[in-house]
Amino acid sequence: MALYDASGNFVIASEAHTSVTANEWNNFSCTVSSETLSAQNYYICLLSSGDINNGIAYDDLGASSTVLISNSYASGFPSTISTSQWNTFSLSMMATYTLGGSGGGGTPVLPHAGYDYTLATNATSNYVIASNGTIIFSSGTPATAFANLTYVGNGHTLYVENGTYVSGSSFVWQNGLNTNLTFSPYANFTIQAAVDDAVLKMQSCQNCTLSYATIDGYSSGQSTGDGVNLANCDDCRIINSTITDIRRFGWVCDDTDGVGVHGNNGIINSTVTFCGWNNVQLGGTDYSIGNYAINNTVAYGSDVGISTWGCRNGIVAYNYVHHMNGTTGGGGSSQYGIAVEGYSGNSDCAQIIGNTIDNTVNGIILGVGSDVYSNLVKDNVISNSQIGIQTYKSHFDAIYNNTITTWGTSYKSAIDLDTSTNEAVTFNHATLVSGNGYAFNQKNCFNITISHNNITVPTTGEMVGILMQQNTNTTFCIDNTIVATTGIQILSTCYNNKVDKNNLSGSGTAISDSGVSSLLNPSSSSTNRLIVTDNYANASFTQSYSNNTQKVLTSSGIINVDGTNVTSPYTITMNADHAVYVVGGSLSINNNNYTLTASITSPTNTTQYTNVVSYSVSTSGNDTNPTFQINLYKAGVEVGYNKTASTGVFTGLAAGSYMFAVYTHGDNGASDYKTEYLTVSTYSVTVTNGGHGSTNPSGVYSNFNGESFSALATASSGYTFLNWVISGVGNSTVNPLPLTMNSTLNGKTVTAYFSQNSYTLSASIVLPVAAVYTSGTVAYQVTVSGNDTNPAYQINVYSNSLAVGSNLTSSSGSFYGLSNGNYMFAVHVQGDFGSVDYQTLNFSVSTSSGGGGGGGSTPTPTPAPTTYPTVSPTQNPQGTNEFHLDDLDLGTVKPNSTLTGTLHFTFSGSSYTLISISVSEPLRSWMPNPSVTPYQLYTLNNGASGSGSYVLTFLVPADADLQTYSSEVTVTALDGFGVTHTSTAAVTAKVSVTEENTNPISEAINYLLANPFAIVILIVVLCVAVALLMKTKRK
């Protein structure tokens, strides 16, 4: 809650409360600039927005606001709001005028059309506004307001209005569900200097979208902060946004809860610049699956433009990554464009497609220390990088149809394969205008396929098209077109490499071979190799077949054989080595002699309520020693990878639909591919409360069958937890309540109920005693008992109903200078929670001298009060104020009618605020709202007196008797100096005959009943008439 003084200066900020006790505001400590106000106490009251004086601080909830008045302006101020009223004070009080209070200096804030909730800011505070203009939350701290915006936003559309939101802590979006959050083009989230935290955190959100956000990390002040950090989220995305000036990661998925697998989060059409570590990072641990970065501009970073770090099945597509030149400090300095990085060996099956990369050290690198597997690098354009594409401890990758130009001129390479196995490098284009070194380089590699690449490098100097060095073995180099000084070079530490059918030209040697057992352009062979890259099944392998064996290739996708697309099924004769690439469907290889068929025993096409999936597969056919490659996919993204046993389990699955896939391959080349579908679901329960408390969790809670959790109920101040009620099941008084998710609990509502506490307070007079005192000094002492807290005292001594010692507030002390006579000692005590007690005791003073004891003078008596307010009024420093209420005559009324009466009053010496208006019976029952709380202000305009009015509404009952009704109306008002005034007047109403009564006899009777004087006249007339009649008869 933000508070402002009368000049609009920010005064106090505290955490938002749905209910606040008076004690929370006592001895409230804060700092305004360099002035410490910790010594100030504040009193609470309700005033209207127009009552502005020095020392009054308005909250930001609008008209009829709660205010704090410092004790320097209101010492002994009488509070006019009871503790119970304050405890139930609701944050739903709405602003009907400029927000921030009349003294707040704010400008109006409005909801954004078309959105359910809006976050807005002005000069004074930050507001969460519903679509109808209702302000449901406000805070001087933008991060607190943002947390409340996202809290109410589940399933809704949210909007962040124009403005720069500067926070001293992270903006946190937690437990979001199916929510779209959109930023204004002129809205900006930033963080204060030296704050070591992310600017925006999304935690445990599902299916949420953040659009058009601007996130500024103020990196010169950050130490380890991120831009946008997604932790344990699923199916969330940031679109069309800008992230800049970040000390660590610009956009990062950091799935660290260790519970299940999280994924399918992405960043799309956004710009991420000036980051100290990775501009975009798709993972944080090995719990991330299927995150993506698509069509973004990523630039001016220090470490990596886009990294998959620990994310399996990541997608990095159609991004423009440039100038990773280390200009921003704070983390690594690798200056890579795109990196597939492993965390505990889990960063596999990434798809790096269609990106444009410029001015980096490495354009793309697969593996940065930990082994990675089965990545697809396709259709990328890389220029002005020291190394175009590099693999390091990476295996079973497909590097296909990439274009690389102008790489490092001093013995760097377009494609560098290092400590890698089973790689397929096909149909790439490498062009270098000048320099020394090599286009493709291999070292410490095994079973590499390099086919159908087009390499053009200078034919002068020491340029090599393809270089095999440092224990590169069983490389298959076929059908490449190379223009270079040396086309292909094999060094002495390499074994069993095969070079065949390449088109080599240049100024030097076509093939330079110093290797062991190299096979160069053989005219014939007893066996030939089929090199397969199956992108759909994430499988790359090499199979040897006897010369002239025929194999049948089938796939639902595209089959490419030696650079040419063929139609499935396709029969291939193994009279030479062949390179096969498959996209969009898995490949089956069979022949007329061998068959292999896979069968899936489990899982089956069912819905299960556990996050563990067991599987079992088998094969039939005459091919031998079948091998398995088994995967599990969610929304086309692999979440369980490369299992090789025929039975096993996939664990830690999130809810959703899955495809189970098995690829099997026999010794003789027969293979098969089968799939099965299943659904993993959770049970759900709704946890709520019946008011006057909160629960954790709150709302819909979902988990898998058999999972245990606890529901905790927390009572509001003044209330106590009563019990839990589980719909259709039963109730419990255990808190926290242990629960286990199962089919019985599924769909139920668990509600916490609370009961209001009962408070008592009882005063006991210890001193004085009922006796005669011989001194004019009389000591007193009062004790209290009961469970109400912080009792406040008001103690007086009366002589003949006149106060001679007034308003002492201590529980013990003395009265001085009492003269001889009889006295009444009176104590009024009230606790925090509204309990009150009033006790009296009579005593006498009789001194031997007959004068005032103790030498004191006789006090001037004042009338004893008839009521005892909580805090005694102080003397008005401006003189005596007066408040007078006129009588209210409603006139003649008719049954079953509605009428209004205007209450008039006069006042002098000060402005006044009406606090309450009440009417006694019987007319109280005629009022739709018998206890009126108007909180209206009447102000003196440069005069010594004023007048005001208030309109009361009455509904005359249909059965109202024909008589005059009289009641009392009481008005309580507060003057500008904190003094309460109460005035009482009569209100009368006379009921007449209704218009519907047209019977003249009835009308006459009703008239006589309502007019007693007419009855007397009628009796006199009748008596005269009878006397005359009798006289006539005697004649």
Best CA proximity match to 187, nearest among 248, 107, 118: 118
pLDDT of residue 82: 36
The separation between the first and the last C-alpha atoms of the chain, rounded to the nearest angstrom, is: 99
Work out the pLDDT band at 853, boundaries 50, 70, 90: very low
Question: Lowest-confidence range among 413-427, 519-533, 568-582, 640-654?
Answer: 519-533
The token pair at 527 is 């066996």
Q: What is the CATH number of the domain that holds 821?
A: 2.60.40.10
pLDDT per residue over 117-131, tens digit each?
A: 999 887 778 888 888
| Cα separations in angstroms, 648 against 282, 612, 617 | 28, 10, 10
- In this structure, the answer to whether residues 516 and 641 fall within a common structural domain is no
pLDDT of residue 317: 93
Task: Give the number of other CB atoms < 10 A from CB of residue 258.
Answer: 10
Q: Give mean pLDDT, residues 129-150.
A: 85
Radius of gyration of the chain (CA): 44
- In this structure, the answer to whether residues 778 and 851 fall within a common structural domain is yes
pLDDT of residue 95: 25
pLDDT of residue 901: 79
- In this structure, the answer to whether residues 974 and 887 fall within a common structural domain is yes
- In this structure, the answer to whether residues 674 and 687 fall within a common structural domain is no
Whole-model pTM above 0.75? no
Best CA proximity match to 380, nearest among 398, 402, 359: 402
Whole-number Å distance between alpha carbons of 837 and 53: 34
Q: Which residue has the higher pLDDT, 548 or 713?
A: 713
Work out the pLDDT band at 1007, boundaries 50, 70, 90: low
Task: Assess whether pLDDT exceeds 90 at residue 903.
Answer: no
Question: Lowest-confidence range among 142-156, 702-716, 848-862, 901-915?
Answer: 848-862
Q: Please check whether residue 805 lies inside any domain of the structure.
A: yes
**What are the residue ranges of helices labelled H in 1-65?**
22-25
Average pLDDT in the chain:
75
- In this structure, the answer to whether residues 926 and 1005 fall within a common structural domain is no
pLDDT of residue 380: 95
Helix, strand, coil percentages, rounded to 5, for the chain: 5, 50, 45
Q: Which residue has the higher pLDDT, 881 or 89?
A: 881
| Cα separations in angstroms, 54 against 4, 9, 483, 911 | 11, 12, 87, 15
pLDDT of residue 487: 92
Q: Please check whether residue 641 lies inside any domain of the structure.
A: yes
Task: Please say which residue of 65, 87, 109 terminates a domain.
Answer: 87
- In this structure, the answer to whether residues 780 and 859 fall within a common structural domain is yes
Task: Please say which residue of 632, 663, 678 terminates a domain.
Answer: 678
pLDDT of residue 98: 25
Whole-number Å distance between alpha carbons of 841 and 846: 17
pLDDT per residue over 776-801, tens digit each?
A: 888 889 999 988 888 888 888 887 76
pLDDT of residue 815: 85
pLDDT per residue over 428-473, tens digit each?
A: 898 888 777 789 999 988 888 898 899 998 888 788 999 999 888 8
Cβ neighbors of 860 (< 8 A, separation 6 or more) are none
pLDDT per residue over 622-633, tens digit each?
A: 888 888 888 887
Best CA proximity match to 444, nearest among 398, 475, 413, 409: 475
Question: Lowest-confidence range among 54-63, 87-96, 288-297, 952-961?
Answer: 87-96
Whole-number Å distance between alpha carbons of 408 and 105: 61
Q: Give mean pLDDT, residues 480-504.
A: 90
Task: Assess whether pLDDT exceeds 50 at residue 152.
Answer: yes
Question: Lowest-confidence range among 49-53, 551-555, 784-788?
Answer: 49-53
Task: Assess whether pLDDT exceeds 80 at residue 844.
Answer: yes
| Cα separations in angstroms, 459 against 432, 462, 488 | 10, 8, 13
- C-beta contacts of 502-507 below 8 A and 24+ residues apart: 502/477, 502/478, 503/479, 504/465, 506/459, 506/465, 506/482, 507/459, 507/460
pLDDT of residue 735: 93
pLDDT of residue 365: 93
Q: Please check whether residue 280 lies inside any domain of the structure.
A: no
pLDDT of residue 775: 85
pLDDT per residue over 641-691, tens digit each?
A: 668 888 998 888 888 888 888 888 887 767 787 888 888 888 999 999 988
User: How many structural domains does the chain have?
Assistant: 8
pLDDT of residue 368: 81
Q: Which residue has the higher pLDDT, 915 or 959?
A: 959
pLDDT of residue 685: 92
Task: Assess whether pLDDT exceeds 80 at residue 711.
Answer: yes
pLDDT per residue over 80-107, tens digit each?
A: 333 333 333 322 222 222 223 322 334 4
Best CA proximity match to 376, nearest among 434, 334, 429, 314: 314
Best CA proximity match to 585, nearest among 625, 536, 629: 536
Task: Assess whether pLDDT exceeds 80 at residue 1031.
Answer: no
Task: Assess whether pLDDT exceeds 80 at residue 382.
Answer: yes
| Cα separations in angstroms, 168 against 141, 173, 200, 227, 747 | 8, 16, 12, 14, 40
Q: Give mean pLDDT, residues 926-943.
A: 57
Q: Give mean pLDDT, residues 917-941.
A: 66
Work out the pLDDT band at 321, boundaries 50, 70, 90: very high
The token pair at 341 is 């990085």
- In this structure, the answer to whether residues 510 and 401 fall within a common structural domain is yes
- In this structure, the answer to whether residues 464 and 533 fall within a common structural domain is no
Task: Please say which residue of 653, 678, 703 terminates a domain.
Answer: 678
pLDDT per residue over 500-514, tens digit each?
A: 889 999 878 899 999
- In this structure, the answer to whether residues 378 and 518 fall within a common structural domain is yes
Q: Please check whether residue 602 lies inside any domain of the structure.
A: yes
Q: Which residue has the higher pLDDT, 224 or 628?
A: 628
Work out the pLDDT band at 221, boundaries 50, 70, 90: low
Q: Please check whether residue 320 lies inside any domain of the structure.
A: no
- In this structure, the answer to whether residues 752 and 698 fall within a common structural domain is yes
Burial (Cβ within 10 Å: 0-12, 13-18, ≥19) of residue 521:
exposed
Considering 72-86, 679-693, 831-845, the range whose residues carry the highest mean pLDDT is: 679-693
Q: Please check whether residue 142 lies inside any domain of the structure.
A: no
Q: Where are any strands of DSSP class E within 161-239? A: 163-167, 171-174, 180-183, 187-191, 200-203, 209-211, 214-216, 228-231, 237-239
Cβ neighbors of 249 (< 8 A, separation 6 or more) are 226, 227, 229, 275, 277, 278, 279, 280, 281
pLDDT of residue 81: 35
Q: Give mean pLDDT, residues 814-833.
A: 85
pLDDT per residue over 4-29, tens digit each?
A: 333 333 333 333 333 333 333 333 32
Token look-up 């119970």 returns 84
Task: Assess whether pLDDT exceeds 60 at residue 74.
Answer: no
Question: Lowest-confidence range among 211-215, 353-357, 1026-1030?
Answer: 1026-1030
Q: Please check whether residue 200 lies inside any domain of the structure.
A: no
Work out the pLDDT band at 557, boundaries 50, 70, 90: confident
| Cα separations in angstroms, 147 against 56, 143, 162, 476 | 29, 6, 18, 58
pLDDT of residue 713: 94
- Amino acid, res. 47: L
pLDDT of residue 67: 40
Query: Does the bond joining 863 to the residue before it have cis omega, within 30 degrees of 0?
Result: no
Question: Lowest-confidence range among 361-365, 659-663, 995-999, 1030-1034?
Answer: 995-999
Q: Give mean pLDDT, residues 992-1018.
A: 60
Q: Which residue has the higher pLDDT, 563 or 471?
A: 471
Burial (Cβ within 10 Å: 0-12, 13-18, ≥19) of residue 220:
exposed
Tell me which residue range forms the domain holding 489. 374-522
User: Do residues 353 and 378 make contact, with C-beta atoms less than 8 angstroms apart?
Assistant: yes
- In this structure, the answer to whether residues 425 and 487 fall within a common structural domain is yes
How many alpha carbons lie under 13 Å from residue 754 in its C-beta half-sphere? 21
- In this structure, the answer to whether residues 459 and 513 fall within a common structural domain is yes
Q: Please check whether residue 468 lies inside any domain of the structure.
A: yes
Percent of the chain surpassing pLDDT 70: 74
